[in-house]
Amino acid sequence: MSKLGSLIWETMIAIGDEEKEACIHCGTVWYRIHHRDGVCHRCQAQGLPSRTQLAKNNRLIRWLLTLGSIFLILAGYAIYTLVTT
């Protein structure tokens, strides 16, 4: 096999060994190099959030829910003490 043929063969093997990943929005499966933080090019062009941005949003929502729960507990306790006294 020629040197060029062996380089082509090695490149094909390397491409085949590359891991594939599915887009978190549309589910298209492609080589990981074509995805940025779990989002394919088409979904990036549409402005859909990446995996990191979704995680930040999830943390913010959990924090707000926790804060709201604490507020409801304190408000319930305040109403309970007003009613029972």
Q: Is the pTM of this model over 0.75?
A: no
pLDDT at 8 over 90: no
The residue that leads in pLDDT, 32 or 53, is 53
26 three-state secondary structure: coil
The answer, yes or no, to whether residue 45 has pLDDT greater than 80, is yes
Please indicate whether residue 4 or residue 59 has the higher confidence score (pLDDT). 59
| Range of weakest confidence among 3-17, 45-59, 71-85 | 3-17
Which of the 8 DSSP states describes residue 31? E
CA distance 85 to 71: 21
Q: What is the pLDDT of residue 27?
A: 85
What number is the average pLDDT over the span 14-41? 77
